[in-house]
Amino acid sequence: MQLIHVKQQREAKARQRQIQQQTAPPAPPPYRIQRGLDAARVPVKVHVGTCVLAGKGAAGVSAEAARRAVAEQVEACSVCRPDTELGALDV
């Protein structure tokens, strides 16, 4: 009896893990680039992927693209400081 109970518990936990994996939200991108609201939609700020100030419309980009944007004088967010994380500080 106890063996059957243990097997049922293991199966239930395995089903629960599978459901959690299927319904988990995707991981945020490493960095985000916020664009202006004008017609040109030029990049305005670079954010860390988890920064709440980036907004949902900010495009997710790789570390290389974020580093390039900072090097091209796109402003880094003063709250999440992606330039520090990227090692692109102006000294």
pLDDT at 64: 93
Alpha carbon distance 37, 69 (integer Å): 18
Sign of the Cα pseudo-torsion (67, 69, 74, 80, in order): negative
The whole-model pTM stands at 0.67
The full set of domain ranges for the chain reads 31-86
Helix/strand/coil for 26: coil
Residue with tokens 């059957």: 4
The predicted pLDDT at position 89 comes to 61
Per-residue pLDDT of the chain in tens (91 residues, 90 and over written 9): 899 999 999 999 999 998 888 887 888 899 999 998 888 889 999 999 999 898 877 889 999 999 999 999 999 999 999 988 888 765 4
The pLDDT value given to residue 14:
95
In this prediction, residue 91 carries a pLDDT of 40
